[in-house]
Amino acid sequence: MDSESKNQVIASDYNPKIALKRKERDIAKLLMSDYKILQNKPSKQFHELSLQFDGPKNTPYEEGSWEVYVLIPEQYPYKSPSIGFLNKIFHPNIDFQSGSICLDVINQAWSPMYELINIFDIFLPQLLTYPNPKDPLNPEAAMILIKNQNIFNQVVQDFVQKHAPKKPVLLKTHSTQDQYQQSEKFLNDAQQTLENIQRSQSQTQYDKSSSTSSQAQLTSTNIQNDQQTKFINNIHTINHKELSFQKNNNPNQMQNVQQKQQEEEEDKQNNLQNSQAIEDEEEQYSESIQQLSEISQTSCSELSQSEIDKECVQEY
């Protein structure tokens, strides 16, 4: 179907009210999806938005993340939206400079049966998974793909690292960190206050005041003490939840800590074994010294007795 006949079909089937409802429904479905919407600019004639699109798995584009621009015309869904990559991508069917896409299902073969979210769930992943070098917008990429698939994959990965690397996900937001620091400060202040109350209560009990006012003051102190203890327990609960949040969102750090603890335990065991071996050697050495001492004493006593016998013989 040529462009003139297609325009005639659009003009005959186009209903502004139905098209508006359909466009609003498809945009709402896209906004409620898992895709991160970066820009959303509605207008009377066109609707512009951009979202984050991650490369499909098991492809050289897997580690990449692109911002994809979408221009939805007034005649949507009878007229296809315009799609383009805003950051650079090396692909035979995507223009390297403009980011425009050569894909029949988005251009000539578009049908009102398709929805906006189908572009990101189906069409773009298939385009990156199965590039078509026979109908290129980037002839250089198509030529490299035809000659050597491995070189093409390496070039794609280099472009991904340079123009479209995925940003690391923060495990804990700044607001959560600030809340955790504030709760920790609260806990320290509460503990200090509780210690002051306990010292005051001990002093009151030591004075053994029997007046009614003193008893009332002691009762009030006990109530404040109970309230303060409940407050500290609540803060402890908050801190434990924060610590569990950090542990669950940072498994690598926990694994490193556990590995370090295991290594320290092994070092302790090795040190104990070494110290035991040293003690055994020292004990054997002491026994050897004692045996040598006994032998030497025996020899000396025998020598002395022989000398005495010689002197007695001479005198005789």
CATH number at residue 47: 3.10.110.10
Is residue 48 included in any domain, yes or no? yes
Residues 136 and 8 in one domain: yes
Among the listed residues 10, 37, 86, 102, the single catalytic one is 102
pLDDT of res. 174:
44
Domain that holds residue 188: 174-249
pLDDT band at 137 (very low <50, low <70, confident <90, very high): very high
Q: Which of 97, 131, 163 is the last residue of a domain?
A: 163
Does a structural domain hold residue 304? no
Q: Are residues 91 and 21 in the same domain?
A: yes
For residue 114, is it within any domain?
yes
pLDDT in tens, 194-204: 666 667 666 66
Q: Report how far apart, in Å, the C-alpha atoms of 55 and of each of 61, 150, 288 are.
A: 5, 18, 75
Q: Quick check: is 265 in a domain? A: no
d(CA 56, CA 166): 13
Residues 113 and 214 in one domain: no
Kindly state whether residues 34 and 116 are assigned to the same domain: yes
In this structure, are 156 and 188 located in the same domain? Answer: no
Q: pLDDT of 215-263, one tens digit each? A: 555 565 566 666 556 655 665 565 555 555 555 555 555 666 667 777 7
Is 300 labeled as catalytic in the residue annotation? no
Q: Is residue 312 part of a domain?
A: no
Residue 273 in any domain: the answer is: no
* 198 & 107 share domain: no
Tell which wins on pLDDT, 73 or 247. Answer: 73
Decide if 44 is inside a domain.
yes
- The answer to whether residues 139 and 211 belong to one domain is no
Same domain, 147 and 192: no
Q: Is the pLDDT of residue 44 over 90?
A: no
Of 78 and 293, which is predicted with more confidence? 78
In this structure, the answer to whether residues 108 and 156 fall within a common structural domain is: yes
47-54 and 37-42: which strand pairing? antiparallel
Domain final position from 215, 232, 249: 249
Q: 12 with 70, same domain?
A: yes
Residues 116 and 222 in one domain: no
To the nearest whole percent, how much of the chain has pLDDT over 70? 55
Q: What is the largest CA-CA distance in the chain?
A: 155
Residue 276 belongs to some domain of the structure: no
Residues 20 and 159 in one domain: yes
Q: What is the mean pLDDT of residues 137-155?
A: 95
> Number of structural domains, the chain?
2
Contact status, residue 72 vs residue 27, Cβ threshold 8 Å = yes
